Each structure stands twice: as structure tokens, then as C-alpha cells.
Structure 1
């Protein structure tokens, strides 16, 4: 075999070897890509399942909150109106019986209003600002503390899922302030900041050391819920300086 033929065979075998290496490389890349796709699909499915579970939990909790509110209204408001109606109907005075009719009409209005809250249709018909206003008015009506709302209506347009999560986060934040903070004033502020919408719930109550890891699951739940709709939640507090909860959601 001549030197030229040896060089040709060497080049030929080298080419074949390179082609085999390239084929193995391409096959390896394809396999890795498919594995990554499978992992991504699995991750997306897990995130979707977690999102649906979170929304379902939120819906259930809001329904429970609504039922508790209905129970309080039946006991404290409608029950009292019916008792007054009974007392006035038992009276022989015409003006008392007329007053009883007025109570009956009021009870009918109250029952109709309560019936509307037994499902979640109100979530779509009520804006977030209107919901917050109702919650703050309810707190202030008890004489517990003063409340205020400042809003540029940045949260006027929301998907139902986003509104559900925000409603529950707001409820939890206000309940925490009522249970633990002993504030004189609770303020809610809504505004736009760059590409984000910001909702801040601040009180001037007892506060706590937010640098210490909490043993409860409350803040963890707030964080996880906001993550499911692409938002963030942070808390700032110190003893004697009140507490501020900042909720951030991209536009």
C-alpha cells in the first residue's frame, strides 16, 4: 500500500469516526432536550395543580368566612329585628303594630342581601376597592379602630383568580391586625409603582420583630398565595412601631 493510499484510508476512517462522534453528540443533545422537556412539562403540571389547589382552598375559605358573617348577621341583626317585631305585634297599640310592619320589611331586605353573599358571584360583581371599603367600614363600625383607604384604582381590572387570592390575603391581613396589633388606625393604600401594582395594609399597633422567623404559618400562606398569581408579599414591623404588609402584583 502506497503512502498516498494510507493517507486516503486514514482520512476516510477519520471522517467516519468524526461522523460517528457527531451522530452520538446529536443523539445525546436530543435525549437531553427531551428529558428537559419532560421535566418542564412535569413542573408545569405541578405548578398548575398547586395553583388550582390554592384557588380551591381560597374559595372554600371565603365561603366559610361568608357563612360565618351570615351567622353573625342572623344572630345579631336579623334575630334582634325579629324579636322587636314580635314585641310590637303583641302590643295592642296601632302605632306599635305599624312599627312591626316596618321591621318585617327591614328583615326582608336583610335576608335578600344575605342571600346574595351565599355564593361567590359577588366576587365578580364587586371591585377590589369596594370590597376593601366594605371590610374597613365593618371594622370601624365595631368601634375597634379608625380606618382609611387611599386608592388610585390600580387594581380595577383583575382576573377572578387574582381577585380571589387578593381578597383572602386582605382578609387575613386585617384579621391579624385586629387579633394581635391593637391598633388605633388601619390604613390601606393602593398605588402604581413602575410595572407593578402595590397594595399596602399598615397599622399603628403593637408591632413585632419581623427579623425573627415566625413559628406560625400565616405569613408563609400569604407568600405562597401571592406566588400562585405571580405576585409578592412582604412584611415590615418592629415592636411599638406598627406593621406594614406590602402586596405587589405585576400589571
Structure 2
């Protein structure tokens, strides 16, 4: 009888012991799962915060770029139109007076066009294709270099965050080419390669050794900005043979 009781006690103890181990294991797994959930939520909150911060910085930079452009236009273009109108109005000839009115009307249209750029509403109404075409036309009109646009697709109905990032990255890439590359030709290609939409920004300028680590943060910032929208940024350059920037768009 003692032997039977001992076996029963052993079985009960073993059952309780195993139950305790299983309970401890389950509680530990639940605790670990909740910890991971909390960590993942923190990561998501951080990513969201960084994304919003990046977009805010980009909006500010685009506004600054726009104000700089408006300042140049007011001085170089509209200022000259108003001076020319004044000269024509100073004449007693009817044809000069009429020409002055036409020039003044042109200046008013230019001012209205610039006023629309003072906020970011224009971002909503313009496609990336239109924006790229406008940027290249501005560059070519300055006489700085020749420009070409080749597009296999139209980028329309992009989410605002993707559009803002693309606009700023393209702006900065073109600015860098103008400032540092001294190219004879700037070319932008919008192509579908292996099922991925890409924007290629090419120049035939000075180029540089892209294998050497740069002291600046410009290229790194552009790469990080493309990553915030799920895209990619790749740069290749050869001394004396120009630079190519490849922007891979998010799916």
C-alpha cells in the first residue's frame, strides 16, 4: 500500500511540477511577446516620427528653393519687363504706348504665376513628368547646358509624401550637377527596368571617384530620403566621364 501511495504522490508531484514548468514557460512567452510588441511599436513610432520630420524638412527646403527662384525672377525677369514698359510709356508714339501696355500685361501674368508658387499647392497639381520638364527647360533657357527628357511612363496620382521626396531629390541632384559637374548635357530618363520604375539623372560633366568616401552628407541624405518612401538611390561617377544617379521608385 505504501508503494502504491508513493507512486501516486510521485505522479501528483510530477504533474504539478510539469504544470508549473509549462505555466512558467507560457507566462515567459507571453511576456517576451509583449516586450517584442512594445519594441516593435517603439520602432514604428520612431520610423513614423522620422518620416514626418523628413517630410517637414523637405517642405521647408522646397519653399526656400521656391523663394530663391521667385527672388531671381523678380529681379532678372519682371524687373526688366517693368523697366522696358516704363521706357515705352515715356514715348509719345502711340505704337510705343501700346507696346508698353503689352509688356505690362506680360509682367502682370508673370507675377500671378509666381504668386501661385508661394505655397505648396502647386505640388498637388503638377506631375513628376511636368516638374522634370520645367526644371530642364529652366536650365536650358539659362544657356548653361543642353538638356533632354526621355520618359516611358507618366508619374501621376503619386501620394504627396512620395511626390515631395522625388521633387526635392531631383532638384538637389540637378543643383549638384550645375554647381559641381559643369556638364555640356544634362539628361533625365524615366524608364521601367526589370519591372521597376526608375528615374536616371545623367550628366557628361567632370565626374568624380565615387568609390572614395565623401566628407559631405549630401548624397547620404538623398539616399535616406528615397528610403523613407520605400525607394532607392544609387550613384555612379567616373572622373572625366560624368555622373549617373538612379532613383528607384517604390512599388
Shared fold, TM over 0.5: yes
Aligned residues of 2:229 and 2:250 also touching (Cα < 8 A): no
Q: Secondary structure at the match of 2:226?
A: helix
**Given that residues 66 and 117 in structure 1 are in contact (C-alpha distance below 8 angstroms), is that contact kept between their aligned partners in structure 2?**
yes
User: Is it true that 1:10 corresponds to 2:10 in the alignment?
Assistant: yes
Alpha-carbon offset, residue 28 of structure 1: 0.5
Count of residues in Structure 1 that have an aligned counterpart in Structure 2 = 251
Does 1:243 pair with 2:212?
A: no
- SS for the counterpart of 1:9 is helix
For 2:112, the equivalent position in structure 1 comes to 112
Tell me the residue number matched to 1:26.
26
Query: Under a length normalisation based on structure 1, what TM-score does the superposition of the two structures give?
Result: 0.97
Of 225-234 and 93-102, the range deviating more from structure 2? 93-102
Deviation, structure 1 residue 194: 3.5
Give the secondary-structure state (helix, strand or coil) at the position aligned to 1:205. coil
Structure 1 position 14, deviation (Å):
0.6
Q: What is the Cα deviation at residue 195 of structure 1? A: 4.3
Deviation at 1:155, TM superposition (A): 2.6
Contact (CA 8 Å) 2:210, 2:236: kept in 1 or not?
Answer: yes
CA deviation vs aligned residue, 1:193-232 (integer Å, no higher than 9, x gap)? 3342111101111110111111011101101111111111
Equivalent residues in 2 for 1:193-212 (5 A)? Answer: 193-212=193-212
Contact 1:140/1:146 (<8 A) preserved: yes
* Structure 2 counterparts to residues 2-81 of structure 1, below 5 A: 2-81=2-81
Q: CA deviation at 1:154?
A: 5.1
Three-state SS of the structure 2 residue aligned to 1:237 is strand
Relative to structure 1, is the Cα distance of residues 86 and 154 closer, same or farther in structure 2, using a 3 angstrom cutoff? Answer: closer
What runs of 5+ residues in structure 1 fail to find an aligned partner? none
CA distance, structure 2, for counterparts of residue 42 and residue 122 of structure 1: 35
The alignment yields a C-alpha RMSD, in angstroms, of 1.1
**Within 5 Å, which residues of 2 pair with 1:113-152?**
113-152=113-152
Matching residue of 2:216: 216
Instruction: Determine the C-alpha separation between the residues in 2 that align with 1:223 and 1:3.
Output: 76
Output the CA distance in 2 between the equivalents of 1:209 and 1:194.
28
| d(CA) in 1 for partners of 2:153, 2:226 | 19
Rounded Cα–Cα distance in structure 1 between residues aligned with 2:154 and 2:2: 84
Counterpart-to-counterpart distance in 1, 2:124 and 2:227: 22
**1:190 counterpart residue number:** 190
Q: Distance in 1 between matches of 2:121 and 2:194?
A: 32
